[in-house]
Each structure stands twice: as structure tokens, then as C-alpha cells.
Amino acid sequence: MPRTLSDQRRAAVLEAATRAIARNGLAAPTASIAAEAGLSVGSLFNYFPTKTALLNGLYLHLKHDLAAAVAEPPIPDGPLRDRAGEGWRRWIRWGAADPDKQRVLMLIETSHELTDQSRRDGTAAMQGADALFAEAQAGGPFADQPLEFLVAMVGALAATTMEAVSREPEQFDSRCHVGFTAVWAAIGSGGRSSDTGTDGKRSQA
């Protein structure tokens, strides 16, 4: 009779893997992940039969978690810079609230363990959030570059901003604004015509 798998235990494995990989990198043993999740190694493998499967499952879990944080509730209509700035704030808030998530996501994204299918699925999960960057990309210095390259560049600035905010939460508004100013300057003329809000004043991130 097939073993019934628990969503709660699967979530516990993913949370434990996030903590273990944040501490020890991608080489974190499955035994330590299982122990942290309160499971035996055999039980862990019922959910993820290999370490590669676990890393890919964790990658998609984090991508969906981030996508939900950025896109829900829907960002209100308005000038592109305002919408991109709100998306940026939500991204930074997500990473600063739990720096392990952003750290692990970046580690897996650069790992050879990440499959092409998982990468495509991760991109699809972020489609709503990435649409803001795609809109801003047109006409700027990244216009002829793959969107993935732009998102990776912005991601590096986001990671730096998240680390700063996680150390000094009281500086969230200041760090977030400075980080977005750098991002918007890097994106270039793609959204320059929408730099201002409806009152004609420059928008704030």
C-alpha cells in the first residue's frame, strides 16, 4: 500500500533544508536536514528521493514563496516607476524577514544541480513580478539582453539591500529607497518617461 505523504512534513523538510543550507552551503548532508526536520533519512527520501530532487524542490518552493510575496495583493495601477518600486519593496521585505531564504535561493540558482526544467518552472512562477522589469527594460541598456540577465543583475542589488535591512530593520525605508534608486538608474531609459508620479513629482520607492 503506498505510503501517505504529509504536506506538513514536506514543508518541515523544506524549512529544515533552508536553514541547513544557509549554515553549511549546498554540501549540507541530508542526514542533518532530516534530523532538523525531525525525520529519519529514510522518511526524508520518501518526499525527495535524492539530494538533487530536494534542491530542485526547495528552489521551486522558494520561487513560489517569493512570487506570492511580490505579486499578492496585486500592485495597484500607476506609473511604471511606482509599480516597480512597490514590487522592489515587497521583494526586499521578503528577503529581509528571512535572509536564509534569499541566501539559499541564490546558492541553488548558481548550482549545477538545478535542472533546466526547474529553472523554466521558476521563471514561470515569477512571471507576474518579472513583468515589471520586462516593461522597464524596453529602450534601456538591457533592451537587447535576456530578461534573466537583467533579473540576475537586479537580484545582486536586492541581496545587498536585504542584508543591510536585516542588520538594521529600522533603516528599511532608507535602504530600500537607495537600493531602488540604483536599480532604476541601471535599468536606464526603459521607464524614464514614467519616472514621475501623476502629480508630476519624482516617485519614491
Distance between CA 142 and CA 50 in Å, rounded? 38
Residue 193 pLDDT more than 50? no
Q: Is the pLDDT of residue 165 over 60?
A: yes
User: What's the confidence (pLDDT) of residue 34?
Assistant: 95
pLDDT of residue 192: 47
- Reported as a single tens digit per residue, the pLDDT across 94-139 is 999 999 999 999 999 999 999 999 999 998 888 877 777 778 777 6
User: 174 φ, ψ to 5°?
Assistant: -65, -50
Residues sharing a CB contact under 8 Å with residue 35, sequence separation 6 or more, in sequence order: none
CA torsion sign, 135 to 138 to 142 to 148? Answer: positive
- The stretch 68-78 carries a mean pLDDT of 90
pLDDT digits (tens, 9 = 90+) for 48-69: 999 999 999 999 999 999 999 9
pTM over the 0.75 mark: yes
Sorted by where each starts, the structural domains of the chain and their CATH numbers stand as 1-49 (1.10.10.60), 58-194 (1.10.357.10)
What mean pLDDT is predicted for residues 15-35?
95
Mean pLDDT of all residues in 88-96: 94
Is a pLDDT exceeding 50 seen at residue 73? yes
